[in-house]
């Protein structure tokens, strides 16, 4: 594990989490910690339970067993978010990105950003319903923040383009900008670079890095791309068969015989430079 985590309290604790789908145990006593300010990678062969774990953490699915704790305040006792509905975990600053829904593809890139609920600012929005002059001011504020978020991911030139017309990589950048609009504490990204070309992948990596370095956003990222993992993530946590089998720096997990075993049967050797860590 990276060197500076020892004295820090986790922002997220997953304890003995279990999820059964009928007879299939997708997550099997999974335990892990995510540390604030870090970009933690989550890898593992196809079917390892990574996406299901994200669904359990964010509240999209209720677990069969186990607990999830989130540090929503910065210090003090953690909040038990086990089974908490997604809109509530979102309100606490725990955000998972989703693909842009079909109806939003008919809106412009900027409109997509202006629609994002303001998370922790919910109370202010509620209050503004009763005072129209505040609504106008709030809208100008939201537009300014949306433009700022677009600039952050280098999509300003596409502000008035329909979301349906932008490329896969640009959609991923827009999803990241949408996420950042809510001023999250912890962001869960599920394969953000899948299907993204090299140029936009570099832009996506840079934006994630800057969100972490400049805004203190913590990330937990599922990805298979070795370059992304090596340049962006530390530590990396490895899952297989629903549980954590290894964690450490990218080079440490690559060299771990348990990890190599877990990927055996995969189509590519582990850690092939510029290659793919598994069967995506």
Q: Name the minimum Å distance from CB 196 to ligand ADP.
A: 18
Of 32 and 149, the one with the shorter C-beta distance to ligand ADP is: 32
3-state DSSP of 110-150: HHHHHCCCCHHHHHHHHHHCCCHHHHHHHHHHHHHHHHHHH
Query: Position of tokens 């910065």?
Result: 74
User: Which CB, 50 or 96, lies closer to Mg ion?
Assistant: 50
Count of residues that interact with Mg ion, criterion CB under 5 A: 2
Contact (CB, 8 A) for 12 and 78:
no
Pick 116 or 228: Cβ nearer ligand ADP: 228
Sequence-separated (6 or more) residues with CB below 8 Å from residue 130: none
Site string (23-62) toward ligand ADP, x via CB under 6 A: -x-x-----------------x-xxxxxxx----------
The rounded distance, in Å, linking the Cα atoms of 162 and 160 is 7
Site string for Mg ion, 45-64 (x = CB under 5 A): -----xx-------------
> In angstroms, what is the minimal distance from the CB of 239 to ligand ADP?
7
Q: Kindly state the smallest distance separating residue 48's Cβ from ligand ADP, in Å.
A: 4
- Pick one of ligand ADP, Mg ion, none as the site partner of residue 24 (Cβ within 5 to 8 A by kind): ligand ADP
Give the single-character DSSP code of 70: E
**What are the strands of the beta sheet with 186-190, ordered from one edge?**
94-96, 186-190, 218-222, 39-43, 236-240, 243-248
99 binds ligand ADP (CB under 6 A): no
Distance of alpha carbon 218 from alpha carbon 72, whole angstroms: 12
Instruction: Give SS3 for 69.
Output: strand
Q: Which is nearer to ligand ADP, 55 or 182 (CB)?
A: 55
In whole angstroms, the minimum distance from the beta carbon of 71 to ligand ADP comes to 25
Task: Closer to Mg ion by CB, 142 or 222: give it.
Answer: 222
What CA–CA distance (Å, rounded) separates 278 from 262?
A: 10
**CA 234 and chain centroid, separation:** 15
| Ramachandran angles phi, psi of 41, nearest 5° | -90, 145
203 Cα distance to chain centroid:
16
Q: Is 115 or 279 the residue whose CB approaches Mg ion more closely?
A: 279
Choose among ligand ADP, Mg ion, none what residue 264 binds, the Cβ cut-off being 5 to 8 Å by kind: none
Distance CA 264, CA 22 (A): 27
Q: How far is the CB of 225 from ligand ADP (least distance, A)?
A: 15
Nearer to ligand ADP among residue 49 and residue 169 (C-beta): 49
CB of 52 to ligand ADP, least distance (A): 3
Binding site for Mg ion (CB under 5 A): 50-51
* Residues engaged in binding ligand ADP (CB under 6 A): 21, 24, 26, 44, 46-52
């Amino acid at each position: 594990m990276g060197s500076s985590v020892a004295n820090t309290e986790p922002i997220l604790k997953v304890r003995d989490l279990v999820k059964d789908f009928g007879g299939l145990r997708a997550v099997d006593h999974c335990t892990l910690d995510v540390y604030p300010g870090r970009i933690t990678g989550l890898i593992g062969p196809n079917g390892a339970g990574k996406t299901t774990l994200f669904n359990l953490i964010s509240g999209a699915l209720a677990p069969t067993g186990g607990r999830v704790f989130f540090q929503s305040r910065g210090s003090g006792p953690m909040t038990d978010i086990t089974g908490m509905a997604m809109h509530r975990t979102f309100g606490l600053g725990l955000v998972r990105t989703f693909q842009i829904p079909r109806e939003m593809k008919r809106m412009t890139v900027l409109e997509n950003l202006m629609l994002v609920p303001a998370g922790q600012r919910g109370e202010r929005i509620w209050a503004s319903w009763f005072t129209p002059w505040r609504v106008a001011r709030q809208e100008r504020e939201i537009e300014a923040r949306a433009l700022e978020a677009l600039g952050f991911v280098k999509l300003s030139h596409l502000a008035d383009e329909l979301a349906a017309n932008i490329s896969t990589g640009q959609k991923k950048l827009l999803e990241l900008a949408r996420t950042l609009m809510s001023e999250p504490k912890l962001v869960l990204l599920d394969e953000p670079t899948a299907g993204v070309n090299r140029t936009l992948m570099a832009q996506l990596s840079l934006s994630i890095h800057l969100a972490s370095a400049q805004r203190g956003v913590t990330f937990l990222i599922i990805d298979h791309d070795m370059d992304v993992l090596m340049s962006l993530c530390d530590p990396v946590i490895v899952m297989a068969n629903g549980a954590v089998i290894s964690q450490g720096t990218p080079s440490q997990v690559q060299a771990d015989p348990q990890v190599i075993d877990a990927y055996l049967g995969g189509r590519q050797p582990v850690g092939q430079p510029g290659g793919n860590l598994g069967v995506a």
